[in-house]
Chains A and B, each alone.
Chain A
Amino acid sequence: MYPSRFAYEAPKTLGEAIALLDASGGEAKILAGGQSLIPMVKLRFASPEMLVDINNIPGLDYIRMDPDGTLRIGALARHEDFEHSATLAETHPTLAAAASLVADPIVRTRGTFVGSLCHADPQGDWSATMVALGGRIVAQGPNGKREIDVRSFVLGPFSNALAFNEIAVEAVIPPVKGRPAGSYLKLERRVGDFATASVAVALDMNGTTVGRAGCALAGVGGRTIDANDAISVLVGKTLNAESIEAAADAVATAADPRTDHRGSADYKRHVVKTFVTRILNNIANSEQKAA
């Protein structure tokens, strides 16, 4: 409950923030929403020497779509911005579905999407949606910006690919070519629990045919599970009982769950299969309704 001492800076520009990280030689951490970092610091699981608070840097709190359909998410976009968006349910249904399942409503007023990705919790919800959507992270350091595919961004539990003097300034989700479809289902025993198993599915539909399919899992491995290859069995197909079963099986096979007090590995794998099936069935049913 009582953190150890640290130095604190609250820069007003990105340049200042990067300079502070650079000077720290790796002993400083970025503080954005703080809803994952501060609990760790309080319990002394993390004891950084310096915290660089970026909340006072203007121009980072956006979720916006470029004319070409690219979705750009600034470093200070809060979870609840996704939950309360009027347009996201239509443009990015996977994100919209996950938004209300991240932590709890109060934490969502403060925690950030990009911060959550950087935290790299193997059970993180946003990480799974990003992998399913084929997103990437824009990192900015003393030598300028670079883009990192989200699948290369997480190195391991709570470990990301940023250099010690880089800040993740934006998350980018490539445009959807056809009609976006998808969802996020999470088995949590109560609000705020980590996932026993969760599934993110993001499809790019050409009429009733699947143009692109993305899928990722949380809670069923030591890291976010990339099930994009597994779900690619849907590409070029329509959604019917057979194709859905094949996809669900393939994704379940890609899971790497551990047996623990939340359940056996078999159980978690089964939940993955069930969730994939439900999400795809829902998409198929709403297509039928639309038609």
Chain B
Amino acid sequence: MALDEIKIGGMGASRRRVEDNRFIRGKGKYVDDVVLPGMLHMEILRSTVAHARIKSIDTSAAWEVPGVRLVLTGEMMAARNLAWMPTLSYDTQAVLATDKIRFQGQEIAAVIADDPYIAKDACAKIVVEYEQLPAITNPFIAQEPSMPIIRDDKENQPTNKVFDWEIGDKERTDQAFAEADVVSTIDLHYPRSHPSPMENCGSIADYDRATGKLTVYMTSQAPHIVRAAVAMVAEIPEHQIRIISPDLGGGFGNKVPIYPGYVISILASILTERPVKWIEDKTGNLISTGFGRDVYLQGQIAMRKDGRILGMRMHTISDHGAFFADAQPTKFKIGLMHSTFACYDIPAAHLTSEGYYTNKAPGGVAYRCSFRVTEAMFFQERMIHAAANDLGMDQAEFRRINLVKDDMFPYRTAFGFLTDSGQYGKCLDVGLEAIGYSTFKEEQEEARKRGKLLGIGISTMTEPLGAGNSREYDIIGIKMFDSAELRVHMTGKAILRTGAKTQGQGHETTWAQIVAHELGIPADDIVVEEGDTDTAPFGMGTYASRSTPVAGAAVAMVARKIRAKARKIAAHLLEVSEEDIEWELGRFYVRGNQERGVTIQDCALAAYSNVPDGLEPGLENNAYYDPPNLTWPFAAYICKVEVDAETGVWDVLKFVAVDDCGVRINPMIVEGQIMGGLTEAYAMANMQYITFDEEGNCIGANYMDYLLPTAWETPGFELHEVVTPCPHHPIGAKGIGECATVGGPAAFVNAVMNAIEHTGVRNVDMPLMPNRVYEALQTGQNVSGMPPVKVG
């Protein structure tokens, strides 16, 4: 008599997506689709140079263009204390430049006009005079005494350094190295990459002078954080601010930061007394918004000759661009970089980190990275790969020796994380079997005789997802819990709202599945809404794969609160005491008499028409969830490639992904996340990066230079599943959205390195473009991805 959970769209069902119904009809509502009466359009003028003193900005000709309503400059913003705004890393960022340009593409002025064509015409008429300064394009020349100080707007900023940071046990680690038989070293650059969702950022700000209310439609993955930030910056009280994140055309972290365009559009609306729409173009998005990576990763591991790792040390040098605007937990200056090596049993580790300002767009933590875990795991698996070779040991065997074993959980890593579950060895075994590892060496030798270079690369990792517990995690002081509010109506249908914000992950589909699982209400009877701060309970948004771990948990918790109340109502309806009530999916029944029961829908109706004395009517509640720990999914990614020695072009022959993300709410959606992430991993390994020339010009500010793979280049992926439930999550689920992006790149790179191993080359920096692979083959030397520089 219990309902069939799959039939009602509960957990484990590959329920087809609710959001698809509007997207496949072209009825999605993205920010640029929203039209408000009287709306004006805003275009931003961006700098063409990377580093310069501003001598003058002449906007007079722009004002003359018919249809122009307002032209804003930094000076006008400064008069209202809005030329600078705080960042999520306790720094400040220019909204519109006043004294200096600090990166190519920085915002200089904004034109607000009747339509965007006119606004662009007017932008073209603004005349800016610069006095150019030397451009700093990497953190090494940022340290050169002859190079200028970029942040001369700040007091107590005598150099271009942003921070020094350290974690771990230096003494113990040094000791491990002293005892080692073999020490392996690696030196990598993880290049600057950009999330580049298909939809660019934008906002529509609408200040209503009559009511004093500011409504902003915005491409934001975290609308509640934005509401708080706008309250601080614009000095409009928080209850008079409404942020609406409608449909988002992808996020991947790019839509977490608060961009100057949003702030300018708000002021423009206040000044013009009209709604103002700002939609950036792809160049604006690539050249100025939140990017990921751009870190130099240097490290060593100390080993015994039997392959046991004794210790690990790592030094990172990160390039933050012109403003320190990373969106990450406050305590950790380099994000969760110290999650590196978490899947291996290592007794001692030490990490030091330096960050620098450069003349580039601000950011570093905004690309499906789980707060720099992409860098941590790339370093880890590239280091492991090199070390196995140094030892003369098989790649899989070396990992197996050092992976945390199943019976070691809960396991405290050398950097203090607590991993709680996993079957690492099993995942690796499934992957090795699927790729045909046992016969590969033979295959590789035979192919080499025919002049073909084959290679296999392995990447195994566990990563910290679901930030995070309030003891350790906050963003500008706000704790990283999340929330869910569930209202069950009298006919048994429901509406659920959460503090998360889906950008394609399918929350409208999956959250309903959790409620179906907990309450037996068919998922089709539950509508899910996110993104409107006037109606959604407070949450910290969706990024860093935190939503299933945190918001998903809140959904389960609120559904359980509802069920607990319904139980009381059921007892009342069945005229027994609560202790005699049992639950099966969708109904309560009397213990010992399963036939006698009431459905959850019966209880819902009764909540409004027949509650017991002493119980409040209604069947609505909310939950705020502070996760006790992060969740720890595990993945084994194995890639087989063929390298064309004559051109350096490499093709993926096979790619196997084994993911263990605990209980899967919707297997179809989980697989979609993995394939999307693997494609981004492939892109970064193969073709996708932002670089700079010596003058500080950004190469990668449009899709002709910033290469995303098409359906033609992108390989197919073979997916496998292992399930180790999360012991602390209410439904046993772990995060998954970013695993493939985090663990994937090393699999591709290790495979190519394996194919060209006979040259002795230790490292080719990503992206492994044909010319770099060819160079490695020809010279036998490492190939660095550091951009060319000019020290002047």
Contacts and interface: CB of A to CB of B under 8 A. Distances in A.
Is chain B a partner of chain A in the same complex?
A: yes
A44 interface: yes
B792 to A, nearest CB: 21
Given A1-B281, A267-B775, A271-B647, A187 B770 contact: yes
Contact of B707 (A187, A193, A274): A193
B86 to A, nearest CB: 31
Contacts of A261: 691, 699
B491 interface: no
A192 B120 CA distance: 27
Contacts of A191: 710, 712-713
Interface in B362-395: none
A140 interface: no
A267 to B, nearest CB: 5
Contact of B712 (A187, A190, A270, A271): A190
A193 B706 CA distance: 10
Interface in B766-780: 769-771, 774-775
B124 A44 contact: yes
Given A196-B770, A270-B774, A271-B647, A189 B707 contact: yes
A1 B691 CA distance: 23
Interface string A1-12: 111110000000
Contacts of A113: none
B12 interface: no
A2 B116 contact: yes
Interface string A251-291: 00000000001111001101100100000000000000000
A264 B687 CA distance: 16
B715 interface: no
A1 B281 CA distance: 7
Interface residues of B, number: 28
Contacts of B713: 190-191
Interface in B85-137: 116-117, 119-121, 124
B705 to A, nearest CB: 8
Interface string B222-252: 0000000000000000000000000000000
Contact of B647 (A1, A2, A187): A187
Contact of A190 (B647, B648, B687): B687
Interface string A70-107: 00000000000000000000000000000000001000
B616 interface: no
A184 interface: no
Interface string A153-192: 0000000000000000000000000000000000101111
Nearest to B41: A2
Contact of B770 (A1, A2, A4, A263): A263
B579 interface: no
Contact of B124 (A4, A187, A194, A271): A4
B764 to A, nearest CB: 13
Interface string B325-346: 0000000000000000000000
Contact of B771 (A193, A196, A274): A196
B646 interface: yes
Nearest to A267: B771
A251 to B, nearest CB: 15
Nearest to B644: A274
B1 interface: no
A196 to B, nearest CB: 7
B492 interface: no
Given A2-B116, A2-B120, A262 B771 contact: yes
Contacts of A5: 121
B770 A190 contact: no
Contacts of B732: none
A129 B287 CA distance: 36
B649 interface: yes
A261 to B, nearest CB: 6
A262 B769 CA distance: 8
Nearest to A193: B707
B116 A263 contact: no
Interface string B642-673: 00001111000000000000000000000000
A190 B124 contact: no
Nearest to B703: A192
B709 interface: yes
Contacts of B771: 196, 262-264, 267-268
A250 to B, nearest CB: 18
A263 B769 contact: yes
A44 B48 CA distance: 14
Contacts of A104: 710
Interface string A224-268: 000000000000000000000000000000000000011110011
Nearest to B649: A187
B704 A194 contact: yes
B646 A192 contact: no
B646 A274 contact: yes
Contacts of B646: 270, 274
Contacts of B769: 189, 262-263
Most buried by A among B707, B709, B770, B771: B771
Most buried by B among A190, A264, A268, A270: A190
Interface in B266-295: 281
A274 B699 CA distance: 28
Contacts of B120: 1-2, 4
A268 B771 CA distance: 8
Contact of B775 (A4, A189, A193, A264): A264
Given A267-B774, A274-B647, A190 B116 contact: no
A40 B589 CA distance: 71
A189 B712 contact: no
A263 B712 CA distance: 23
Contacts of B686: 189
A104 B120 CA distance: 29
Nearest to B702: A43
A196 B772 CA distance: 13
A75 B709 CA distance: 32
B775 A190 contact: no
A267 B712 CA distance: 25
A266 to B, nearest CB: 9
A192 B116 CA distance: 28
A267 B713 CA distance: 22
Given A262-B771, A263-B769, A264-B775, A190 B710 contact: yes
A9 B710 CA distance: 36
Contacts of A187: 647, 649, 770
Contacts of B648: 267
A44 B120 CA distance: 10
Contacts of A194: 704
Nearest to A277: B646
Nearest to B767: A189
Nearest to A262: B771
Nearest to A271: B647
A189 B710 contact: no
Contacts of A2: 43, 116-117, 119-121
Contacts of A1: 116, 120, 281
12 contacts: A2-B43, A2-B117, A2-B121, A187-B647, A189-B707, A261-B699, A263-B771, A264-B775, A267-B775, A268-B771, A270-B774, A271-B647
Nearest 5 CB-CB pairings of A with B: A263-B771, A2-B120, A2-B117, A274-B646, A267-B771
Interface of A: 1-5, 44, 104, 187, 189-194, 196, 261-264, 267-268, 270-271, 274
Interface of B: 43, 116-117, 119-121, 124, 281, 646-649, 686-687, 691, 699, 704, 707-710, 712-713, 769-771, 774-775
Given A2-B120, A193-B707, A264-B771, 8 more contacts: A1-B120, A2-B119, A187-B647, A189-B687, A190-B709, A190-B712, A191-B710, A196-B770
